[in-house]
Amino acid sequence: MSTIDLQAVKGTRDFYPDDMRLRTWLFGLWREVAAQYGFEEYDSCVLESEELYIRKAGDEITDQLYNFIDKGGRRVALRPEITPSLARMVMAKGTSLPLPARWFAIAQCFRYENMQRGRKREHFQWNMDVIGLASEAAEAELMAAQCAFLRATGLSLSAQKCEIIIKVSNRQVIQHFLEGLGITGDAFAAVCVIIDKHDKIGRDATIHALAGLGIAADAAGRILAILAVTGLAEATAIVGADNPGISSLTRLMSHLSDFGIAHCARIDLSVIRGLSYYTGCVWEVFDASGSLPRAIAGGGRYDRLIESFGGTPLAMVGFGFGDVVIAEILSERGLIPASVLARGIDDVVYPMSAAEFPVANQLARALRAQGRKVAVDYSERRFKHVVKRAEDDGAKRLLILGVDEVKNRRVTVRQLGKERVENQVALSELGVADPVSP
Amino acid sequence: MSTIDLQAVKGTRDFYPDDMRLRTWLFGLWREVAAQYGFEEYDSCVLESEELYIRKAGDEITDQLYNFIDKGGRRVALRPEITPSLARMVMAKGTSLPLPARWFAIAQCFRYENMQRGRKREHFQWNMDVIGLASEAAEAELMAAQCAFLRATGLSLSAQKCEIIIKVSNRQVIQHFLEGLGITGDAFAAVCVIIDKHDKIGRDATIHALAGLGIAADAAGRILAILAVTGLAEATAIVGADNPGISSLTRLMSHLSDFGIAHCARIDLSVIRGLSYYTGCVWEVFDASGSLPRAIAGGGRYDRLIESFGGTPLAMVGFGFGDVVIAEILSERGLIPASVLARGIDDVVYPMSAAEFPVANQLARALRAQGRKVAVDYSERRFKHVVKRAEDDGAKRLLILGVDEVKNRRVTVRQLGKERVENQVALSELGVADPVSP
C-alpha cells in the first residue's frame, strides 16, 4: 500500500498544538486591541470571486493570485487579502450601514508565486479598517492600534527606545506633482508600481521605466529626489506647500502626537505600497533595527476602491498585519511568554486500573464543574510514566485513584513541579457525591 | 462602469459584525469546553491534498469534494472535513507524539453539491479527537464534552427534561454479523453506505442494493431487523452476546453513567454515518423534539484510517460539530444571549469640532489604557445624531468635549441608556495629563 504525502500542501502550514498556542496568543492580542479601539470583527469566506482582484497591471496581488475555475465554471480565488471583500460587503449594505464604521478581521490569505524558497503561500492577516471617515484622525487611530498591539507583545515603543518605525508617505505628493506634468489616472497607478520597485531595480532602470510612460528624464529625476527626502520641510521645498499630500501628512503628524506615537513615525516618500488602489496616505511598519528587510505591517487610504467596483465613492482606510514576520521578531527576541510555550492543563486524574474509571470520571466531572482543566489518564501505565506525561503536559496536580482510595472514598493528590507534596483528600471535599446506598 | 457581484460566492457566507458576534460566542464556548477536557487546539490549512479524500465509492465526502487542480498541477481540495488532515499530522509526528493525545480544532470545511436550495457549501466544524486510546472511555469523554457545550448554550440536558438525544451505534454489530456471511473489508464499507441511506431509499431498494453485494434476501432481512432495534437486549437476541459491537456498547453505556449523561443516549443501530472510515462506535446528536431532521453533530471511532494512509494502525475516535444547525436551534429557542446580539463598546468620546480632536485622542488613549473599549466620534455631527449612534452601538457613556470643556480641562460625561445623567469630570481624573507649560 502506498503511503500518502505527510506534508501539508506546498507553502501551507500545519499548526500543531505548540504552534497553535502562539497563533491563539497573537490573535487574542489583536482582538483585544481592536476591541479597545471600538472595532467590530467581521469575516468573509476565504473563497472569493476572482473579479475582485483583477486590477491594474503590475499590482502585486493580481500577479500572484491563487485562482481557479470551480466545478460550476465560476472564476474564483483563495483571497489574497480581505480588503476587496470588505468593500463588497460595505457596498452590499448600501445606505443602511451607519458611518463611520470601524471593522476588523483576522483573515487567512493566499498567494501563488514560484519565487523564494521557503516563502509561504498562506498567512493570517489582521486587518483594521475605518469606513466613511476622510479625516487623517482615522490613519492616526489605526497606527495607534498597531502600536498598542506591538507594545502589548513586549516590544519597547518609548521615545527613548523605540524598536519599531512607521514609515509614512502620501501618494498625493507625487500624484499632484505628476498632474502638473499631465500624468493622471491609470498612468499614475503605473508610476506607483515602478516607484514601488525602484529600490530593487536601481536608478537607471527606474528612469528607463518612467520614460516608457512618457516621463522625461528631468521629471524622473525630480521624482527620485522626492523619494529620497526624509522630512516634510525638504519635501515641501520640492513640491510646494500647496501640495495636498504635504498638508495631509502635516495633519497626520499632529494627530500622531496626540496619540503619543509621533516619535515612532518618520516621513519616507519612497514608501508607495504594491497595491494599485491606494489614493492617499500609505505606511509601512518596520523593525527599527533593520535586521528584517520585510515590513511587519502596512496600510493606506483607498477612497476610490468602491468607486472602481461600480459603487458610490466612500472614504476608506485600513491596514494589514501578517502573522509571520511579527512571530519571527518576537521569537528572535525571546518575547513569546512562557505561558504560550507551555501547555496549560490543571489536573490529571489517574485511575490505576479500569476498576477505578467510574470514580475517575466522576471526579473529572466535579473538577471541570469547578472550572478546572482536567485530563483523565486511562492508560493504566506505570506510575512514573504517568507522572512524566502529566509534568510534560504542564499539569499542576496529579490525582491518583487506586483500590484503597476508592474504598475509602479518598484521592491521593500530588502537587507536580518542584514540590511533589502528596496528601489525601476526601472525594466529597472535591465535589464527588457519595454513592447512594441501594 | 459595470458593478461587481455584491454577493459572496454561491453557498458561502459573509459574516457581518452581528453574525460574527454569534460565531465568536459559539467558538468561545467550544474552546472553553475543549480546554476543560484537557484538549489542545491544532489546525491545518483549508487547502489540502486531494488524495486524503479519495476513498470508497459512495463515501459522502468523496462525492461532494470541492477539488481542483492548482497552477502547479497539484490535485488539491478545500477540505471537506479535518479528520484526514489530523491523521496526516499525527502520522508525520511518528513515535515522537506522546499518546494518548487529545486534540481539537475549529475548521472551516467545504463541499460541492448541486442539491438542496439554500444549502451552504461551507461551514465551520468543531472537532475533538482522542488519539491512541482504544477504551470506550474516549467515546464517553467526547460525548460528555458535547453535552457540556450544549448545556453551556442554555439547553436543558437534565434527566427530567433532556432537549437533545445521542443516538449511539457500533458498526461492529453488523460487521461481525456480516463476517459470518463472509462479507468483509471493502464489501462491508459498501454495506455501510447502503445502510446509511436505507431510511431514504426504503426497504425494497435497500434489499435490492444489498443483493447487488451478494447478500441474500434472508440476511438482508436480518440486517434490517438489527437496524430497527431500540435496546441492547433486543440487539443481543439477534446477533448474540459474543458480538464485539454489543460488548463495546455495554461498556460505553457504563462510562456514560459515570459522566452523568446516560439519560441523553439511546441505542439506535440504524445510525451508521456516511464516512467509510468508521470502524466501531458511531453516534449522532439530535434535537430531541425531532423538529430538525438533520443531526446537530456526529462522531465515531476510526481505528484504521491511518492504516489506510499507509501508516501503523492507531486507535482514533472523534466528533464533528457544525456551526449551522446548532445556531438555528438556539436562535429558534431564543437562547442567544442579549450580550451576543448587542455591540459591546464602553465609551464614545465626542469632540464637538476638529479643535477638540487632540484632547479627544488623549482622552481615548487614557481610557483605553484603563482597559475600556473606546470609539472617538470624529464626525462633527449634530449632538442628537451622535447620541443616537452611541446608543445604537451599545455604549455606556458619552464623553463630550467642547470649547469650554477643553478650556477648563474638563469633560461632560453622559450616562447612556435609561438614565442619561450628565456630570462634569476633570480630565486629570480620567488619566489625561495636564499640558506642560512652554
Per-residue pLDDT at B103: 98
Residue of A nearest to B88 (CA): A6
Q: Is A243 exposed, middle or buried (0-12, 13-18, 19+ CB in 10 A)?
A: buried
**Chain A closest CA to B58's CA: distance in Å?**
19
| A81 contact partners, CB below 8 Å, separation of at least 6 | A61, A107, A109, A125, A127, A275, A320
Which of A22, A25, A43 to mutate to probe the B interface, most B CBs <10 Å?
A43
- Enumerate the residues of chain B whose CB falls inside 8 A of the CB of residue A71: 66, 68, 112
- Distance of CA A218 to CAs A190, B123, B128, B251, Å? 18, 57, 66, 86
- Enumerate the residues of chain A whose CB falls inside 8 A of the CB of residue B78: 47
Per-residue pLDDT at A436: 67
Looking at residue B117, the DSSP 8-state letter turns out to be T
Per-residue pLDDT at B235: 87
Residue of A nearest to B368 (CA): A36
Query: Under DSSP, is residue B316 helix (H, G, I), strand (E, B) or coil?
Result: strand
**Number of residues in chain A:** 438
**Chain B closest CA to A26's CA: distance in Å?**
14
Which of A2, A3, A6 to mutate to probe the B interface, most B CBs <10 Å?
A6
Query: Under DSSP, is residue A126 helix (H, G, I), strand (E, B) or coil?
Result: strand
- State residue A279 phi and psi, 5-degree precision: -125, -20
Number of Cβ pairs closer than 8 Å across A and B? 259
Encode chain A (438 residues) as per-residue pLDDT tens digits.
578 999 999 999 999 999 999 999 999 999 999 999 999 999 999 999 999 998 765 666 777 899 999 988 899 999 999 999 999 999 999 999 999 999 999 999 999 987 566 678 999 999 999 999 999 999 999 999 999 999 999 999 999 999 999 999 999 998 898 888 888 877 887 888 888 888 889 999 999 999 998 888 888 988 898 888 888 888 888 888 889 999 999 999 999 999 999 999 999 998 988 777 899 999 999 999 988 778 999 999 999 999 999 999 999 999 999 999 999 999 999 999 998 988 889 999 999 999 999 999 999 999 999 999 999 999 999 999 999 999 999 999 999 999 999 999 999 999 998 777 899 999 999 999 887 665
Task: Tell me the sheet residues that pair with A415.
Answer: A397
- Enumerate the residues of chain B whose CB falls inside 8 A of the CB of residue A4: 49, 51-52, 88, 91, 309-310
Helices (H), B343-382: 357-369
End-to-end CA distance of chain A: 55
User: Within chain B, which residues score under 70 in pLDDT?
Assistant: 1, 56-60, 115-118, 436-438
Cα-Cα-Cα-Cα dihedral sign, residues B218, B224, B230, B235: positive
Report the run of H or E that residue A125 belongs to, with start and end: strand A122-131
Per-residue pLDDT at B189: 79
- Enumerate the residues of chain B whose CB falls inside 8 A of the CB of residue A248: none
Per-residue pLDDT at A150: 98
| Farthest CA pair distance, chain B | 100
Please give the Cα distance from B181 to B174 (Å, whole number).
11
Asked if A354's CB is within 8 angstroms of B135's CB, the reply is: yes
- Distance of CA B143 to CAs B35, B131, B329, Å? 15, 15, 19
Cα-Cα-Cα-Cα dihedral sign, residues A193, A196, A201, A205: positive
Nearest Cα neighbor of B127 from B335, B297, B369 is: B297
Per-residue pLDDT at A59: 66
**Chain A closest CA to B322's CA: distance in Å?**
16
Task: Tell me the sheet residues that pair with B162.
Answer: B157
In order, the DSSP letters of B129-158 are EEES--STHHHHHHHHHHHHHHHHTT--BS
Interface predicted TM-score of the whole assembly (ipTM), two decimals:
0.94
Helices (H), A82-184: 83-93, 137-152, 171-179
End-to-end CA distance of chain B: 55
Asked if A41's CB is within 8 angstroms of B20's CB, the reply is: yes
Asked if B9's CB is within 8 angstroms of A76's CB, the reply is: yes
Asked if A74's CB is within 8 angstroms of B9's CB, the reply is: yes
Per-residue pLDDT at A391: 93
Sheet holding A281-287, edge to edge: A40-41, A101-110, A122-131, A316-322, A297-301, A281-287, A164-170, A265-267
- Distance of CA B183 to CAs A369, B178, B194, B279, Å? 46, 5, 14, 15
**Chain B closest CA to A68's CA: distance in Å?**
7
**Chain B closest CA to A118's CA: distance in Å?**
16
